Amino acid sequence: DQQVKQNSPSLSVQEGRISILNCDYTNSMFDYFLWYKKYPAEGPTFLISISSIKDKNEDGRFTVFLNKSAKHLSLHIVPSQPGDSAVYFCAARGRNKLVFGAGTILRVKS
């Protein structure tokens, strides 16, 4: 029972363009959403988050959008840089536990 789904296993984007990573969830009780970035052989690092009472949060090149009615969130990276190439995990919090999606591999081509 996957409560958090990232349906695109991978995404390839040209340097300088926008990267859009998507995430869908099924549990309406989730109250907080996070994005983590992971390089090979390293642990994930926190990138950006959003509370369920908001619909947008921005931090530099990274913006997270939340559509509660659609149970969908997305991460926008503008402009994309080669160093952004990594695996991106979406996570949702419920009952003080985080549920993670399977991740999306982002490749930014120079």
Partner 1 sequence: DGGITQSPKYLFRKEGQNVTLSCEQNLNHDAMYWYRQDPGQGLRLIYYSHIVNDFQKGDIAEGYSVSREKKESFPLTVTSAQKNPTAFYLCASSRAPGSYNSPLHFGNGTRLTVT
Find the binder of partner 1 among 11, 20, 65, 100 (CB under 8 A): 100
User: In terms of Cα–Cα distance, which of 27, 47, 35, 33 is closest to 92?
Assistant: 33
Residue 46 C-beta: closest distance to partner 1, Å: 4
Q: Is 89 in the site for partner 1 (CB under 8 A)?
A: yes
**Total binding residues for partner 1 by CB under 8 A?**
25
Residues numbered 28 to 57 that lie near partner 1 (CB under 8 A) are: 32, 34, 36, 41-46, 49, 51
Strand spans (E) along the chain: 4-5, 10-14, 19-25, 32-38, 45-51, 56-59, 62-67, 72-77, 86-94, 97-100, 104-109
Q: Which two tokens stand for residue 47?
A: 């990138």
Residues that bind partner 1 (CB under 8 A): 2, 4, 6, 9, 32, 34, 36, 41-46, 49, 51, 89, 91, 96-103
